[in-house]
Amino acid sequence: MAHPVYLDYNGTTPHAPEVIEAMRPFIETQFGNPSSTHWYGIRPRKAVEEARKQVAALLNCRSHEVFFTSGGTESNNHAIKGMANALGNKGRHIITTAIEHPAVLEVCRHLEIRGFETTCVGVDQAGKVNVDDICNAIRKDTILISVMHANNEVGTIQPIPEISALARKHGIAMHTDAAQSMGKIPTDVQVLGVDLLSIAGHKLYAPKGIGALFVRQGVFPEKFCHGASQERGYRAGTENVPWMVGLGRACELAAQNPGHTANHMKSMRDRLHKGLADQLDDVRLNGHPDDRLPNTLSLSFKGVEANRILEEIGLEVAASPGAACHSDTVSLSHVLEAMKIPLEWAKGTIRLSTGRMTTPEEIDRAVEAIVRAVEAIVRAVTHLRGASGV
């Protein structure tokens, strides 16, 4: 039996073979501590700095502006808590959006316990924030704006350069969570204009448990982890050399022919969308039709519950729900709620995301499985309603 078609690349990516090969020596033989001054520490130390340069090259920044973390969640925590604690004497107001990842929203809620205030700006029905709404939320005590580069559920890309320019005009620090955008769309920090940017390795064909944070020179978040002087003193602890090497190699791969990669993912995504829309009625696209990640497809099936679709296709397609439906209640994602997607549509939302390894044959298999599942559910619902006289 063939494995299910993997269409959850936004959830996590497979390891690129080149990444595994780059990591292998530092798992098998090059075990030295990079902080050691003896022979065994030399190659690991050089490998860490080479990985830092590889990440910096993808971001178009200087290598000393990058330090490694355990992943996107830690990077977001460090950026937001670090800047809040560093600037708390100047103000205690933070602006973010209603569609951020919990790794941003929960950090802001935690800071509210400590006396900070958060304004969560809404989005339109395409999931895009209006720059004017960010502008109107700015106060004299605003110290930080955090807006994700691209949404993980619907793929909508936010106007980060415009928001960064607004933040700079008002002397406010600007952070973006780029976990979903790295390797899919350009993440040049000079173009984006951000002060801090978060990276998650496992969205980039690198291992889970590694990430990075870009901190622009002249910006000084408070230290996240105290101890020795690793990572310029921002994050103490012995370096996770194999994983850092893996992230560096993944960033190097992402920088090679990015247009080809994006076009392939988009081609697979659009083939999937067309295949489903051609064969099924009542299919709705969520997210911006154009300003959207090239690999992300959030679809709603009217009157059908997402968990039932995923149950039906579970042995054939791996995807994620946009709603959790139970006996008498429907739990929608906060993103769909913020976009004000009508309940009859929202409860039947699934996220399908393609990747570098996705093939046309896999897409066609997925279309067949999803169409068959949705049609079977619709027939069952129609029969049930007929039997009950509804």
Catalytic one of 120, 135, 225, 325: 325
Polymer length in residues for the chain: 390
Picking from 364, 34, 32, 15, the residue whose alpha carbon sits closest to that of residue 210 is 15
With residues binned 3-state (H G I as helix, E B as strand, rest as coil), the percentages for the chain, rounded to 5, are 45, 15, 40
DSSP letter string, 198-266: EEEGGGTTS-TT-EEEEE-TT--PPPSB-SSSTGGGTB-S---HHHHHHHHHHHHHHHSSHHHHHHHHH
**383: buried, middle or exposed (CB in 10 Å: 19+, 13-18, 0-12)?**
exposed
Residue 15 near residue 22 (C-beta atoms within 8 A): no
Interatomic CA distance for residues 74 and 214, integer angstroms? 12
Judge whether 325 counts as a catalytic residue. Answer: yes
Which residues participate in catalysis according to the annotation? Answer: 325
